[in-house]
Structure 1
Amino acid sequence: MLWIPVLLLAAAASVVACARLFRAAVRAADPRFRLTAGRGDSAARPLGLAETAFLVGGPARVAEVTLVAMARRGRLLLAHTGWATAVADRPADALEGAVLDALGPGLQLPVAELRAEVAASAEVRALGERLGAARLAVPAEIRSLVAGALRQLRRTVLGVAAAGLVSLLLLPHGGHSAAEVAGWFGLPLLLGAGSLVIARVDLAPYGRWATPLGAEAVRGAERHEALALAVHGVRAVHEPQFRAALTVRTAA
């Protein structure tokens, strides 16, 4: 009868994971975070490079486009070996300031490390907060809450399925048929899988960087060649040296 304690643990894990997802859904339903706001002035105003990058790919994409933009203006050297070296000593804007601050007094870092530090900078967080206030970006609090709950539920569903399989194949059933054991494990599995299906429909917008209003603004930006880097990322970088710098892995 060892399968019964395993079943109880699987059921408890499913209930906890579903409760966390329910809590995230309730939090996302707060009127302050509602993503179905009507069209406003923010949607009518053209997006800039950094704003488009955030809505498409989040902080990492903002860091990426900032590095390439600086390199194209001759303010930063991106070597094909994967190292970045500052040329400018004074930033032209806040995001360039984040790059120079991350480079530090040595004025040189591996591109992968520099990109990560810029993505985590206060300047990029401020950009996300401005877009969130304009209802173009999903608030970081809600996005993190929903993403964490979904990750836990997905792992739980896989864990319940694995526990059921182990119980069927390896543990004694104590007089119960395999169909009975499978049926009991099917209950927490159905609970978790059903919750995932519902969440995929109802909570999908909260797992993205852009709100529906922001996504509409990005669709307008896709027609502008100057914003191709923000929309498509490294695929839009034509310079071989810059592309190599952004994709090569280096040791600091």
Structure 2
Amino acid sequence: MWLPFLLLAWGAAVVSCARVCRTAVAAAGRPRHGGPSAPADDAPADGTPAAGDGGLSLYETAYLSGGPHRLADVVLVLMAQQRRLHLAHTGWATVVDPVGLDPVERAALTAIGPEGQCEIPAVRHALSGAQAVHGLADRLTLAGLAAPAAARKEIGAAVRQVQGAALLVALAAGAAYWMVPSGAQAGPVLAWFALPLVLTLGTWAIARFEVQPSTGWATEAGEAVLRRARRALRGRLPGATSGGLTGLALHGPDALADPGLRAALHSSGA
């Protein structure tokens, strides 16, 4: 009576693990354009420096390091340092000067809205869907530095499926255990479920630590450029404005020297 549960467990394990392998191979086999990214036409017009030796702008560095949310943090802090926005420690952004110097800044001002005040998480969410951010992501993808959105979604769905399969195997094993006739040993029955459980958990672990990092925001080529930017940042004098913005782009809010800005970004979920 417990054999249908075993077949269900094996079927879920094989299908989910095969999907992870197929999507990982497909992502690794996508054609890459080998050259560095072209200079971004949405870099700040006031001459914000490139983030590293790879010639990336701060916006590109932020996107490759942490996606649209990191990019939103960079543009908000950049405008705050120029006294064109006020970022409160409570996590609210208030417009001081409603003039954007580039498409991403204009998208941020549009996200804040006509009232001139908005919570930072809402700005991050709105910028994720802004055309200026999509254009930057498309250029980085064409340059081979950013992972295609489809690859990230496919890998994420495959990993979630193998997680579900591992849970299903465990539940099937529990159901089979209760189906064992009274007086019979349940050990041999549970042993049949050990292999599909090990298979799903092992695939999950490999995907978590090997596959998912390679299909994050940056490709291997993009990660190489970011590593050069990190080395360049370590060689700069601490406290420099460009280093602070670059540190934010590369490492997130903890890299900021200003405790008020750190509090504003952290209180809003960064």
- Asked if the contact 2:169–2:197 (Cα under 8 Å) also holds between the matched residues in 1, the reply is yes
- Structure 1 unaligned blocks of 5 or more: none
Q: Deviation digits for residues 21-41 of structure 1, max 9, x if unmatched?
A: 244134324442x5xx75x34
CA drift of 1:236 comes to: 1.3
- Residue 151 of structure 1: aligned partner: 160
1:9-24 superposed matches below 5 A: 9-24=8-23
204, 217, 221: which one aligns with 1:213: 221
CA drift of 1:249 comes to: 4.9
Letter in 2 for 1:236: A
CA drift of 1:189 comes to: 1.7
| Residue 247 of structure 2 is aligned to residue 248 of structure 1 | no
| Residue 171 of structure 2 is aligned to residue 172 of structure 1 | no
Task: Return the TM-score normalized by structure 1.
Answer: 0.84
Q: Which has the higher contact order (CA 8 A, sep 6+)?
A: 1
Distance 1:182 1:214, change over 3 A: same
- Residue 161 of structure 1: aligned partner: 170
1:60-139 superposed matches below 5 A: 60-139=69-148
Distance 1:135 1:205, change over 3 A: farther
- Asked if the contact 2:5–2:175 (Cα under 8 Å) also holds between the matched residues in 1, the reply is no
Q: Deviation digits for residues 6-47 of structure 1, max 9, x if unmatched?
A: 333322322332233244134324442x5xx75x34496421
**Residues in 1 aligned to 2:89 and 2:53: alpha-carbon distance in whole angstroms:** 39
Task: Return the TM-score normalized by structure 2.
Answer: 0.79
Letter in 2 for 1:111: I
CA drift of 1:160 comes to: 1.5
SS in 2 for 1:209: coil
| Residue 232 of structure 2 is aligned to residue 234 of structure 1 | no
- Asked if the contact 1:68–1:242 (Cα under 8 Å) also holds between the matched residues in 2, the reply is yes
- Asked if the contact 1:94–1:123 (Cα under 8 Å) also holds between the matched residues in 2, the reply is yes
The two structures, once aligned, show a CA RMSD in angstroms of: 2.6
- Residue 45 of structure 2: aligned partner: none
- Residue 52 of structure 1: aligned partner: 61
Letter in 1 for 2:255: A
Letter in 2 for 1:145: E
Letter in 2 for 1:246: L
- Asked if the contact 2:111–2:123 (Cα under 8 Å) also holds between the matched residues in 1, the reply is yes
